[in-house]
A = this chain, B = another copy of it.
Amino acid sequence: MVKLIDIAKKLGLSLTTVSRALNDYEEVSSKTKELVRQTAKEMGYVPNKFAQNLALKKSHLISLLYDDYQETISYQSFTFEVIAGVRNYFGRTPYDLIIVPGNLKSETREPLKNICYSRGIEGLFVVGIRTNDPYIEELKKDFIPAVIVDYPLITKKVTYIQSDNLMGCKLAVDYLVSRGHSRIAFINGHDLAAVSPLRLDGYKTALKENGISFDEDIVKVGNYTEKSGYDAVRQLLKEKADFSAVFAASDLMAVGAIKAIKEKGLKVPEDVAVVGFDDVFFAEYSHPSLTTIRQHKFDLGYMGAKELHEIIENPEKPLRSRKIDVELIIRESA
C-alpha cells in the first residue's frame, strides 16, 4: 500500500505538502497540486480512512438500523427500497453505510451507544423498527443524530420522516365515496407499526369530512399479512356486516380481502370495491389489479438521508419532521 510519505519521497516534497495538495489547500501552488495528484494517481495511492478518521475525528460513517425478523414480503420490499434511497443519497457524499450487527431477538444486544461510539458513527438511519423495539428507548437519549422512518420522535438530534398517511387515507376514502360508497370497511394493521393509529385517524377524519358516521362494526385489525386481510373480511362477511367497499391498510391485506370476497361468490369491484395501501410490486399484477395508495419508498430513504446529512453538518438546526406525498393509483379493484 502506497502512503503519503512514499509520494513525498518520490517528489522530494514534505509529507505536509503532499497532504495539503491532495486535500486541495489554497496555500499550495497549482503546479505542485497537479504534480502531486498526478503522481498519487500513478502510484495508485488510496487514502487510509482509519488514519484520516483518527486525525480528523470524523468517520463519514452512517449506521443503518433495521429489523431482519419481519418476514412479510412487503416489509422486506419496503425496507429494501427505503435503503436503496438512503444508499443512493449517501453515494453522492463521502459517507458510507454500516449495518448494525444482527439483532437477534432473544440475545442481549450491545447498547447502541457503544456501537456508535466505537465505530465513530456520525448518524443513524432507522427503518422498519417496531414501536416496542428497545432501540427506540436508546434513541430517545438523543446521543446521536438520527432519522427514523415512520416512528414519531423529535428531539434535539432526532427526527422522523413518513409518508403522508392522513392524506393517503383521505385519498382512498374520498375516491370510494366519489364512486358512490358510504359503507367503507377498514382493515387496519397492529399497533406495533407506528403508522397504524395514523391510518385509523385518517380513515375517521376522511369519513367525517364526507359526512359519514364512523361505525366500529366494520373496522377490523389485522397484522399486515395477506392472511389477516383474508380473515378480517371472512369475519365481516360472517357477521353479515353492511359494507360495499373495503379499505385495507396494506396491499397484502387488500389481496387477502379480495380472496375472501371472491370465495363468497362476490365480485370485485362490482359487489365490493377494494383499496389497498403501499403500492407494492405485485399490486399491479394481482387479480383484479389493485387500486391503492402509493408510498414513495425510495424517496422516503433519499429525503430522510438528506435530512440526516443536514443534521450532521448543521447540529444547531431546529428539527422538524417531514412528510412525503402519497398518490392514489387507480386500477381495477375500485
Contacts and interface: CB of A to CB of B under 8 A. Distances in A.
A118 B49 CA distance: 6
A25 interface: no
A171 interface: no
A96 interface: yes
A80 B81 CA distance: 10
Contacts of A49: 118-120
Interface residues of A, number: 55
A29 interface: no
Nearest to A63: B96
A27 to B, nearest CB: 25
Contacts of A102: 84, 87-92
A111 to B, nearest CB: 9
Given A47-B118, A256-B285, A88 B68 contact: yes
Among the interface residues A103, A117, A259, which one has the most CB atoms of the partner chain B within 10 A? A117
A81 B118 CA distance: 27
This protein's copies in its complex: 2
Interface stretch (A69-77, A308-316, A323-331): A69-77
Q: With a 10 A CB-CB cut-off, give which of A1, A92, A280, A285 has the most chain B CB atoms.
A: A285
Contacts of A280: 73
Contacts of A319: none
B54 A226 contact: no
A226 B81 CA distance: 19
Interface string A103-121: 1100000000110011110
A196 interface: no
A117 B77 contact: no
A90 B104 CA distance: 12
Contact of A117 (B1, B61, B90, B101): B1
A51 B259 CA distance: 58
A59 interface: yes
- Centre residue among A91, A97, A103, A113 by max chain B CB count within 10 A: A91
Contact of A99 (B76, B97, B117, B285): B97
Given A73-B281, A92-B102, 15 more contacts: A46-B114, A46-B117, A48-B118, A50-B59, A64-B99, A68-B84, A68-B87, A76-B76, A90-B101, A91-B101, A91-B104, A97-B101, A226-B282, A227-B285, A282-B282
Interface of A: 1, 46-51, 53-54, 59, 61, 64, 68-69, 71-74, 76-77, 79-81, 84, 87-92, 96-104, 113-114, 117-120, 226-227, 255-256, 259, 280-282, 285, 287
22 contacts: A46-B114, A54-B54, A69-B84, A73-B74, A73-B281, A76-B76, A76-B281, A77-B80, A79-B80, A84-B102, A87-B99, A87-B101, A89-B102, A90-B102, A91-B101, A96-B99, A96-B100, A96-B101, A96-B119, A97-B99, A226-B285, A256-B285
Q: Which 10 pairs of residues, A with B, have the shortest CB-CB distance?
A: A91-B102, A73-B281, A68-B84, A91-B101, A88-B102, A97-B99, A76-B80, A87-B102, A46-B117, A50-B53
